[in-house]
């Protein structure tokens, strides 16, 4: 599967890129790996030559790096190995409105069904301005992709026998497929959604024209991919309900204004070899030893998330508190490691959410801590090796999102586990489609059920825990990123570009 790109030039586009730069006090720019599920999935395939990854410059360091690079293209040496990267220096006011106001405060909230509907959303004149910025941001990506497609096409001729394929990622870039199709008719286009898709009754909250523009934007692609059948079906239902698009009997193809888009389910999994190798590095081993020391061999419940509203960290902590109240035998015998690294702190909801998580953690400590036993270790800073170390020694992984496109932690935990872990998993995570047979499934809103599942997971005998963990790991490895990506390119091989 390593040669996914071999017979054509491949372009990737996403808001967040594989690296991010920071400028040190001496003015020197240093590169760090980008975060999140989409980036980790794509980074695993990014060493392949012949790819160009187009992303937004997110930090001042990124902007400086982009301006220094010839034509904005950082080659693989600039980004510490991997693919060539083109960072788009989008004007900050456009970027802010597109990323914060539309992508993360509107589309993310719709797809994850996060609105407190008596109060939000409320679409007024400010939103019209934000939406215009979102269009501009998508246009800038489409223009960069069209230019790269022309450059990558031998002889520069549209319709050349060697296809140029653009694989566009996520809700930030939902308008770009249609825009690129108009600018570059010879390019084969795939779009992939890393989020859930909202069902029509929730999606209709968007202003009518905006809702239609988003759907038509994605249908500009030749192939639209989703992480599980449930999200793909919701998208297709929205296309039928709001565009009047024609959907074939099994929801595998949507036809709109004479263009056919195939619909695919590509459940992103984990490259186990690469992950285990990273988790054997010295920085992870040091942290593993420190965590074992700090928790003195007690049972461990582990969670690792962005501090993200949809991850449901507050109800997870409530469930842990209920476990300690209703099953007192665990007091003194279990520690909850809750690692919630910072995310989207430009948005007030996220800052408030982090504060709510910290408040509840303090209450749990006040209620239960005893000399020699700290029931909870909450960390809200980013330490990737520490997260890997925690997954290695977990007895129980808690993954209870309100709604989640996939949730790779649910897959990474069993793969990393040294002695096998039990998985408490939300029915609303895309990963549930593959993992439910061997996980302990919970309704993420049902705190009492989650507390009982934590109890069952802690009490599970070793043989059953090992058996389930092995089965979970096997399922998690079944679609490694290379295959996931190759499948999307393969789907494009079966389309004819008009
Ligand atoms: O699809 C969701 C996603 O794009 C994931 O890749 C990642 O987990 C997250 O959102 C990253 O969000 P942000 O780039 O805003 O930090």
pLDDT digits (tens, 9 = 90+) for 348-396: 999 999 999 999 999 999 999 999 999 999 999 999 999 999 999 999 9
Q: Residue 427's pLDDT band (boundaries 50, 70, 90)?
A: very high
Maximum CA extent, the chain: 74
Q: What is the pLDDT of residue 49?
A: 60
Distance from residue 36's CA to the centre of ligand 1 (Å): 5
Distance from residue 257's CA to the centre of ligand 1 (Å): 31
Higher-confidence residue of 151 and 36: namely: 151
Query: Could you tell which of 13, 16, 305 is best to mutate to test the pocket of ligand 1, judged by most ligand atoms within 8 Å of the CB?
Result: 16
Distance from residue 150's CA to the centre of ligand 1 (Å): 29
Q: Residue 68's pLDDT band (boundaries 50, 70, 90)?
A: confident
Q: What is the pLDDT of residue 23?
A: 87
Q: What is the pLDDT of residue 6?
A: 40
What would the mean pLDDT of 83-103 be, rounded to a whole number?
A: 95
**Residue 304 phi, psi (nearest 5):** -135, 120
Give the C-alpha separation, 369 to 388, whole Å. Answer: 26
pLDDT of residue 162 exceeding 50: yes
Cβ–ligand 1 contact at 193 (below 6 Å)? no
Cβ–ligand 1 contact at 36 (below 6 Å)? yes
Q: Which residues pair with 304 in a beta bridge?
A: 339
User: With b meaning 16 or more CB within 10 Å and e meaning fewer, what string describes 410-441?
Assistant: bbbbbbbbeebbbbbbbebbbbbbbbeebbbb
Query: Could you tell which of 19, 34, 38 is best to mutate to test the pocket of ligand 1, judged by most ligand atoms within 8 Å of the CB?
Result: 38
pLDDT in tens, 307-316: 999 999 999 9
Select from 191, 253, 195, 186 the least CA-distant residue to 221: 191
Tell me: cis bond preceding 331? Omega within 30 of 0 counts.
no
Mean pLDDT lowest among 27-41, 57-71, 242-256, 271-285 = 27-41
Task: Return the number of other C-beta atoms located less than 10 Å from residue 498's C-beta.
Answer: 9
| Closest ligand 1 atom to Cα of 194 | 1
Distance from residue 295's CA to the centre of ligand 1 (Å): 31
Q: Residue 153's pLDDT band (boundaries 50, 70, 90)?
A: low
| Closest ligand 1 atom to Cα of 343 | 16
pLDDT of residue 2 exceeding 90: no
Full 3-state SS string of the chain = CCCCCCCCEEEEECCCCCEEEEECCCCCEEEEECCCHHHHHHHCCCCCCCEEEEEECCCHHHHHHHHHCHHHEECCCCCCCCCEEEEECCCHHHHHHHHHHHHHHHHHHHHCCCCCCCCCCCCCHHHHHHHHHHHHHHHHHHHHHHHHHHHHCHHHCCCCCCCEEEEEECHHHCCHHHHHHHHCCCCEEEEECCCCCCCHHHHCCCCHHHHHHHHHHHHCCCEEEECCHHHHHHHHHHHHHHHCCEECCCCCEEEECCEEEEEEECCCCCCHHHHHHHCCCHHHHHHHHHHHHHHCCCEEEEEEEECCHHHCHHHHHHHHHHHHHHCHHHCCCEEEEEEEECCCCCCHHHHHHHHHHHHHHHHHHHHHCECCECCEEEECCCCHHHHHHHHHHCCEEEECCCCECCCCHHHHHHHHCCCCCEEEEECCECCHHHHCCCCEEECCCCHHHHHHHHHHHHHCCHHHHHHHHHHHHHHHHCCCHHHHHHHHHHHHHCCCCC
Q: Residue 29's pLDDT band (boundaries 50, 70, 90)?
A: confident
pLDDT of residue 48 exceeding 70: no
First vs last C-alpha separation in the chain = 28
- In degrees, to the nearest 5, what angle opens at C-alpha 112 toward C-alphas 335 and 401? 15
Cβ–ligand 1 contact at 405 (below 6 Å)? yes
Distance from residue 167's CA to the centre of ligand 1 (Å): 16
Q: Which residues pair with 166 in a beta bridge?
A: 11, 189
Average pLDDT, the chain: 93
Q: What is the pLDDT of residue 83?
A: 80
Q: What is the pLDDT of residue 77?
A: 65
pLDDT of residue 50 exceeding 90: no
pLDDT of residue 47 exceeding 70: no
Q: What is the pLDDT of residue 5?
A: 41
What would the mean pLDDT of 314-326 be, rounded to a whole number?
A: 98
pLDDT in tens, 199-255: 999 999 999 999 999 999 999 999 999 999 999 999 999 999 999 999 998 989 999
Cβ–ligand 1 contact at 344 (below 6 Å)? yes
Give the C-alpha separation, 360 to 455, whole Å. Answer: 20
What would the mean pLDDT of 390-406 be, rounded to a whole number?
A: 98
Q: Residue 171's pLDDT band (boundaries 50, 70, 90)?
A: very high
Query: Could you tell which of 37, 174, 347 is best to mutate to test the pocket of ligand 1, judged by most ligand atoms within 8 Å of the CB?
Result: 37
Distance from residue 111's CA to the centre of ligand 1 (Å): 13
Query: 243-247: long-range contacts at Cβ-Cβ below 8 A with a sequence spacing of 24 or more?
Result: 243/212, 243/215, 243/216, 243/219, 245/215, 245/219
Cβ–ligand 1 contact at 37 (below 6 Å)? yes
Give the C-alpha separation, 47 to 85, whole Å. Answer: 11
pLDDT exceeding 70 applies to what percent of the chain? 93
Q: What is the pLDDT of residue 4?
A: 40
Give the C-alpha separation, 366 to 166, whole Å. Answer: 53
| Closest ligand 1 atom to Cα of 195 | 1
**Residue 181 phi, psi (nearest 5):** -60, -35
What would the mean pLDDT of 13-28 be, rounded to a whole number?
A: 89
| Closest ligand 1 atom to Cα of 14 | 4
477 and 270 Cβ atoms separated by less than 8 Å: yes
Query: Could you tell which of 36, 58, 267 is best to mutate to test the pocket of ligand 1, judged by most ligand atoms within 8 Å of the CB?
Result: 36
**Residue 341 phi, psi (nearest 5):** -80, 155
What would the mean pLDDT of 125-149 be, rounded to a whole number?
A: 97
Looking at ligand 1, which residue's alpha carbon is closest to its atom 7?
36
Distance from residue 327's CA to the centre of ligand 1 (Å): 36
Looking at ligand 1, which residue's alpha carbon is closest to its atom 15?
344
Cβ–ligand 1 contact at 343 (below 6 Å)? yes
Q: What is the pLDDT of residue 84?
A: 87
Distance from residue 43's CA to the centre of ligand 1 (Å): 14
């Amino acid at each position: 599967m390593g040669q996914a790109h071999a017979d054509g030039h491949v372009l990737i586009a996403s808001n967040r890129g594989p690296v991010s730069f920071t400028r040190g006090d001496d003015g020197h720019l240093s590169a760090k790996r980008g975060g999140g599920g989409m980036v980790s999935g794509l980074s695993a395939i990014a060493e392949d030559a012949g790819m160009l990854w187009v992303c937004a410059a997110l930090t001042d360091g990124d902007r400086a790096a982009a301006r220094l690079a010839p034509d904005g293209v950082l080659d693989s040496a600039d980004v510490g190995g991997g693919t060539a990267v083109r960072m788009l220096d989008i004007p900050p006011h456009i970027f802010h409105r597109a990323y914060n106001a539309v992508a993360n405060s509107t589309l993310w909230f719709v797809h994850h069904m996060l609105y407190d509907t008596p109060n939000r959303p409320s679409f007024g004149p400010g939103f019209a301005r934000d939406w215009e910025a979102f269009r501009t941001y998508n246009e800038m990506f489409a223009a960069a992709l069209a230019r790269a497609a022309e450059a990558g096409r031998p002889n520069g001729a549209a319709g050349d026998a060697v296809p140029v394929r653009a694989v566009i990622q996520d809700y930030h870039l939902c308008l770009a497929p249609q825009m690129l199709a108009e600018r570059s008719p010879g390019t084969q286009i795939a779009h992939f959604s890393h989020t859930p898709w909202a069902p029509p009754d929730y999606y209709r909250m968007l202003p009518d024209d905006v809702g239609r523009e988003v759907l038509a934007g994605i249908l500009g692609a030749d192939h639209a991919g989703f992480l599980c059948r449930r999200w793909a079906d919701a998208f297709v239902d929205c296309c039928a309900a709001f565009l009047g698009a024609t959907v074939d009997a099994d929801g595998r193809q949507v036809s709109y204004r004479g263009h056919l888009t195939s619909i695919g389910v590509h459940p992103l999994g984990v490259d186990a070899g690469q992950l285990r190798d990273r988790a054997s590095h010295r920085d992870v081993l040091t942290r593993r030893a420190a965590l074992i020391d700090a928790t003195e061999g007690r049972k461990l419940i582990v969670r690792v998330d962005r501090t993200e509203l949809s991850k449901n960290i507050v109800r997870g902590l409530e469930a842990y508190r209920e476990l300690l109240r209703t099953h007192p035998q665990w007091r003194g015998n279990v520690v909850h490691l809750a690692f919630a690294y910072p995310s989207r702190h430009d948005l007030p909801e996220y800052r408030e959410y982090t504060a709510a998580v910290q408040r509840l953690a303090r209450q749990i400590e006040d209620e239960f801590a005893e000399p020699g036993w700290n029931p909870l270790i909450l960390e809200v800073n980013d330490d990737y090796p520490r997260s890997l170390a925690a997954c290695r020694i977990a007895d129980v992984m808690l993954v209870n999102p309100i709604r989640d496109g996939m949730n790779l932690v649910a897959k990474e935990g069993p793969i990393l586990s040294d002695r096998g872990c039990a998985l408490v998993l939300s029915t609303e995570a895309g990963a549930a489609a593959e993992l439910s047979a061997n996980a302990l499934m919970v309704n993420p809103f049902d705190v009492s059920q989650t507390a009982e599942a934590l109890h069952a997971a802690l009490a599970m005998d070793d043989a059953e825990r090992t058996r389930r963990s092995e089965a979970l790991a096997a399922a998690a490895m079944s679609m490694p990123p290379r295959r996931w990506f190759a499948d999307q390119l393969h789907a494009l091989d079966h389309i004819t570009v008009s």
